[in-house]
Structure 1
Amino acid sequence: MILRRLSQHVKDQNWFAVALDFIIVVLGVFIGLQISNWNDARSFDQLERNYLVQLKDEVELNRRITEYQITYVDTVVETGKRALAYLESDRQCEADCADLLVDFFHASQVWGTPRSMNIFAEMERLGLPRDAGTREPLLDLYRFLDGWDFVNLSPPAYREAVRGYFSPAASEALWRDCQRLPDGEQEELVRDCVDTLKGMDTAAMLEAMRASPDLANQLRYWIGQNASARILLPGALLLSDTAQAAIDEALAP
């Protein structure tokens, strides 16, 4: 319609009308682009908000994993200290032989619960979040999480060495009743195998361990690795709380 009218005005050499039609066309295109941009901006705002809602859940999940790892590391360190104290002593185990064997077993464990980082990775790909006050706390948290697995990049030498001293029956009892996976992912270290182990010659296994020239040093190294985790992991809880607060502020109406 506008083009037909513009053509007629040109034929009539009505230049004022031509100019007016041209302005109307340009203005219409401009308004259309502005509306399109506004709609795109609103859609992107909503996309960012949806991702932030999902990221809030991801950060909370990673916080729970950190809490689990702190408990796990505490168990490895404390059982390792008791096992090392036995190796460094000259006392004979008596009523505590089965419990000591469990300590040696638990001290050899390696936590391996994976972190969830998919939502944050996708947001980074999209350049989200756009606000620096929201982005920086998240970067601090995920940088920590991404570089965190130095403690358990590979199983320690102690893990393989100590398990060579367990009899097949002892190994079966330890794996059946002194660890469990209630949710299929997060391993729990328990002591339900002690009564079964009391019927075995656990004292002989422990004496063989103490006679090893390398086992104590291997255990010291592994305790040290987990001790560093024990010191550093609580920092991830603080980073998680800061990141959660930043997301909550960004989602606030």
Structure 2
Amino acid sequence: MILSRVIGHFRKQEWTAIFLDFVIVVAGILIAFQITEWNTARQDRAREISYLTRIRADLQGDIDGLAERQRYWADVAAAGRMATGYAETGALVDGSAWKTVRSFFWASNVWFYSPNDTAFSEMSGAGDVTLIRSEKLRIALSNYYSNSAKIVRAVVYTAIPAYRQAVRGATPIAVASYIVNECHSHGPVNQRMLDCPAPVSEAEAAKILEVYLAHPLLVDGLRFWITNLDQLAQSVEPDTAAATALAAAIDSELAK
């Protein structure tokens, strides 16, 4: 339609009309490009919001998970201190040989931690990190989820103490199984050490304590593990602060 009009104007040498047709064509092309650009920008923003919303949820999981582990590790350390108290002074936990055995065993508990990087890994794998408009936020997220950060956290949060093998190896299998199944609540986001009745007599529990104290490395290993637990508790603070700061930055970005 436009082409036939232009040809007609050329034949009649209607230069003003030709110029107007040219302007109409160019304007149409520019408008089409602009509409496409707007649509692309809107789609990119929608994808950015989707990714950031999921990453924000992952970060909240990290914050909550660290808080739960900090509480749990404090409970484990407390059990360890009661056990070492018996080893050093002979004072039974609440006057009970069974509760003292249980404290020795509880002190060997571990609960690993690693950040949930599902959403960011998906975003990075798809090459969509540049969808995040804020360069500062992109850099902060990349640092938080970097391989080097993962390695450091793996070293700090997934250590298995030698004490764990020592005390569990010195505990009768029936007693160990009882403590694991009846004196502990296992959950993906929440773990608790539970009060539970004694499965053995006080005399039998006292014999288990004798085995513990006769082990050449058990008590020393427990002291070392308690020190590590204290360091774990300290490590939680900067990691929680980092996750909290990122969550706040994402909230700010989503509010724009």
Q: TM-score, normalization: structure 2?
A: 0.83
Distance 1:227 1:164, change over 3 A: same
Distance 1:153 1:62, change over 3 A: closer
Give 1:126's aligned amino acid: D
Which segment drifts farther, 33-42 or 229-238? 229-238
User: Structure 1 residue 85 and structure 2 residue 90: aligned?
Assistant: no
Determine if contact 2:109/2:164 at 8 Å carries over to the other structure.
yes
Q: Alpha carbon RMSD of aligned pairs, Å? A: 2.8
**Equivalent position SS for 1:221:** helix
CA distance in 2, matches of 1:245, 1:225: 31
- Summarize deviations over 1:40-88 as a string: whole Å, max 9, x none: 112212222232233322222211111111011111222222223333x
Aligned to 2:71: 71
Determine if contact 1:123/1:129 at 8 Å carries over to the other structure.
no
Distance 1:164 1:209, change over 3 A: same
CA distance in 2, matches of 1:91, 1:62: 40
Determine if contact 1:141/1:236 at 8 Å carries over to the other structure.
no
Q: After the TM superposition, which residues 220-231 of structure 1 pair with which residues of structure 2 at under 5 Å, given as runs?
A: 220-231=223-234
Aligned to 2:22: 22
Give 2:248's aligned amino acid: A
**Equivalent position SS for 2:199:** helix
Return the offset for 1:152: 4.2
Aligned to 1:59: 59
CA distance in 2, matches of 1:199, 1:91: 15
Instruction: Choose from 216, 219, 222 the match for 2:222.
Output: 219
Instruction: Choose from 192, 199, 204 the match for 1:201.
Output: 204
Distance 1:186 1:176, change over 3 A: same
Q: Which runs of 5+ in 2 are unaligned?
A: none
Determine if contact 1:102/1:191 at 8 Å carries over to the other structure.
no
Distance 1:230 1:27, change over 3 A: same
Which segment drifts farther, 227-236 or 46-55? 46-55
Which segment drifts farther, 56-65 or 21-30? 21-30
Aligned to 1:190: 194
Determine if contact 1:66/1:237 at 8 Å carries over to the other structure.
yes
Which segment drifts farther, 209-218 or 98-107? 209-218
The alignment of Structure 1 onto Structure 2 pairs a total of residues equal to 250
CA distance in 2, matches of 1:198, 1:233: 39
Q: After the TM superposition, which residues 236-247 of structure 1 pair with which residues of structure 2 at under 5 Å, given as runs?
A: 236-247=239-250
Aligned to 1:126: 128
Determine if contact 1:173/1:196 at 8 Å carries over to the other structure.
yes
Return the offset for 1:23: 3.3
**Equivalent position SS for 2:33:** helix
Aligned to 2:161: 156
Q: What fraction of aligned residue pairs are identical, expressed as a percent?
A: 28
**Equivalent position SS for 1:119:** helix
Return the offset for 1:164: 1.2
